[in-house]
Chain A
Amino acid sequence: MNRENSGYTIIYASIMVVIVALGLAFTHQALNERQTANVNTDKMQQILRSLNIDASAAEAQTKYDELVKNAYLINSDGTKIEGSEGTTPDDPAFSTELDDEDAAGLPVYEAEIDGSMKYILPMDGAGLWGPIWGYLAVEADGSTIFGAEFDHQGETPGLGAEIATPSFKKQFIGKELIKEGTFKSVAVVKPGQTTSDRDYVDGISGGTITSKGVDAMLLNSVGDYMDFLMNLNAAN
């Protein structure tokens, strides 16, 4: 058989592509269920970490069911959308992605820890190499941060990726989003610098752009919840 014949080459390439496509489609289908379960478990772990609870993948579901009492979507003016309540992965709050343009509203999770209510807000933004995201748990006063969780897709290990470490996240505990009746967010500054009008935490040395990304995410993503937080703040 002549291997340099054009017809042979075209047929060879076509058959190869079809076989590879079938193989990959089959692999994806076969593993899809497990992967989705992993993604959901991972999301529950992140929500729990924003409550300062480090749950293993095996116990994440139980812990989540135990602590997260309610979840729903809110309008941009901070009011709850009726009929959007539910905490399972199939309910709107869990399945709504922040970057979805057609989303009906913004997800909020309510958790109860030691008898007091915490509100968990998802965030998303951009780091240096790709997306960053996180969850912010806020006390019932709508201002004090109870805990923060950050993660990233591909920030530089040892530099930007440090935003996902406990030592970075712990800095946020107790900071206040609302100062003198207006929403100010929390700034991420270069280590050693300060801000005068709002609370701040130290950024990552050598991870300046990722730190700025976290700063912008706290301002914009949490800013979308401004009315919701102000309502909470006014009610307390």
Chain B
Amino acid sequence: MALSNKTKAALLGPLNKNNPVIVQVLGICSALAVTSKLEPSLVMAVAVTVVLALANVIISMLRKTIPNRIRIIVQLVVIAALVTIVSEVLKAYAYDVNKQLSVFVGLIVTNCILMGRLEAFALGNGPWPSFLDGIGNGLGYGWILVVVGFFRELLGSGELLGYRVIPQFMYDAGYANNGLMMLAPMALLLVAVIIWVHRARNRELYEETN
């Protein structure tokens, strides 16, 4: 299906120049919490993408009927219901992954990206662009998580997805895992480094200095 420029922007913008994490600085809290290992980062990225896309579609379909005064409540109920369903399905079909993520799945409800996209996009656009916007923002959030999780697990535990990748002779030669990588502040620093690199490559993101 050919995409118009607007829908293309909805899908691809969040991956780069309109990234929810490194440009809009949303969803930082969970980016710190779940990224000490790569696997939870990946599952979290998928879960947020699914919930965000579905919530965007549902709110977009309901947007002409939602009373303005309770629209935030309606959005929250939709998000909370979807998160509960995702959590129940994980419990039934992916019990081990769900155990790893237990608290974090529930915390998707509090992810600012979800409410932000529903307010800013789904309430004013049709279901199809909203769906793409949800997928785009979910992936835009997800790839940051995966990059941060990759470096934190690699440098913090010497493993990736639980498999040892730093060979034993490196440890014998005096290499040590960086325990600091396991702590939340390092995630913040890694996100800052990503923002730094990203802005250095995108001049239009520079603020006016005078």
A and B found bound together: yes
Q: A4-B68, A158-B182, A206-B179 are in contact. Are A16 and B88 (CB under 8 A)?
A: no
A206–B92 contact, CB under 8 A?
no
Please determine whether B156 and A38 come into contact, CB atoms closer than 8 angstroms: no
Beta-carbon contact of A13 and B81 below 8 Å: no
Bound Cα distance from A8 to B66, whole angstroms: 10
Q: Tell me, in angstroms, the Cα distance from A39 to B36 when the chains sit together.
A: 26
The 8 A CB mask of B79-113 against A (1 = contact, 0 = none) is 00100110011011101100110110000000000
B67 touches A9 (CB 8 A): yes
Q: Does A174 contact B (CB under 8 A)?
A: no
Residues B40 and A157 in contact, CB atoms below 8 Å apart = yes
Complex Cα distance, B66 from A51, in Å, reads 57
* Chain B residues with CB below 8 A from A28, complex form: 88
The one of B36, B69, B96, B102 in contact with A158, judged by C-beta atoms closer than 8 angstroms, is B36
Among listed A19-27, A71-79, A85-93, interface-contacting one: A19-27
Counting chain A CB atoms within 10 Å of each CB, the highest count among B66, B67, B70, B152 belongs to B67
How many residues of A are counted as interface, with CB atoms below 8 angstroms from the partner's CB atoms?
32
A31 to B70: give the CA distance in the assembly, Å. 31
- Docked-complex contact B88 and A3, CB < 8 angstroms: no
Report the minimum CB–CB distance from B164 to chain A (whole Å). 12
**B residues within 8 A CB of A16?**
74, 77
- The distance in angstroms between the C-alpha atoms of A101 and B92, with both chains bound, is 29
Give Cα A235–Cα B7 distance, bound, in whole angstroms: 77
**CB within 8 Å for A9 and B37 given contacts A24-B85, A27-B85, A31-B92:** no
B108 to A: closest C-beta gap in Å = 14
Shortest Cβ distance from A130 into B: residue: B103
B89 touches A31 (CB 8 A): yes
CB neighbours (8 Å) of B70 from chain A are: 9, 12-13
Instruction: Annotate A27-55 by CB proximity to B: 1 below 8 A, 0 otherwise.
Output: 11001001100110110000000000000
- What's the dominant secondary structure at chain A's contact region? helix
Q: Mark A189-218, 1 if CB is under 8 A from B, else 0.
A: 000000000000000011000000000000
Write the chain B residue with the least CB distance to A42.
B95
B2 CB–A CB distance under 8 Å: no
A3, A17, A154: the one contacting B103 at CB < 8 Å is A154
Cα of A143 to Cα of B97 in the assembled complex, Å: 35
Q: Does B73 contact A (CB under 8 A)?
A: yes
A34 to chain B, nearest CB (A): 4
* Tally of chain B residues near chain A (CB < 8 A): 34
Nearest-neighbour CB distance to chain B for A158, whole angstroms, equals 4
Q: Does the CB pair B77–A20 fall under 8 Å?
A: yes
Cβ B88 vs Cβ A31 within 8 A: yes
Residues of A within 8 A of B60 (CB): none
How far does the Cβ of B5 sit from chain A's closest Cβ, in whole Å?
Answer: 32
* Chain A residues, CB < 8 A from B179: 205-206
Chain A residues lying within 8 Å of B49, measured Cβ to Cβ, are none
Query: Chain A residues near B152 (CB, 8 Å)?
Result: 158
Complex partner residue of B37 from A12, A34, A158, CB under 8 angstroms: A158
Which residue of B69, B73, B99, B157 contacts A4 across the interface (Cβ within 8 Å)? B69
Query: Do the beta carbons of A24 and B66 come within 8 Å of each other?
Result: no
B183 at the interface (CB under 8 A from A): yes
Which residues of chain B have C-beta atoms less than 8 A from A153's C-beta? 102-103
Please, how many angstroms separate the alpha-carbon atoms of A45 and B172 in the complex?
Answer: 35
Q: Which residues of A contact B66 (CB under 8 A)?
A: 3, 12
Is there a chain A Cβ closer than 8 Å to B65's Cβ? Answer: yes
Contacts of A12 in B (CB 8 A): 65-67, 70, 74
Q: For the complex, give the distance between the alpha carbons of A4 and B95 in Å.
A: 44
CA A130 – CA B182 in complex, angstroms?
A: 19
Complex A-B, nearest 8 residue pairs according to Cβ-Cβ distance, in ascending order: A158-B182, A31-B92, A158-B36, A34-B92, A154-B103, A38-B95, A9-B67, A157-B36
20 contacts between A and B (CB under 8 A): A4-B67, A9-B67, A12-B67, A12-B70, A16-B77, A17-B77, A20-B77, A20-B81, A24-B84, A24-B85, A31-B89, A38-B95, A57-B96, A129-B103, A156-B36, A157-B34, A157-B37, A157-B40, A159-B36, A206-B183
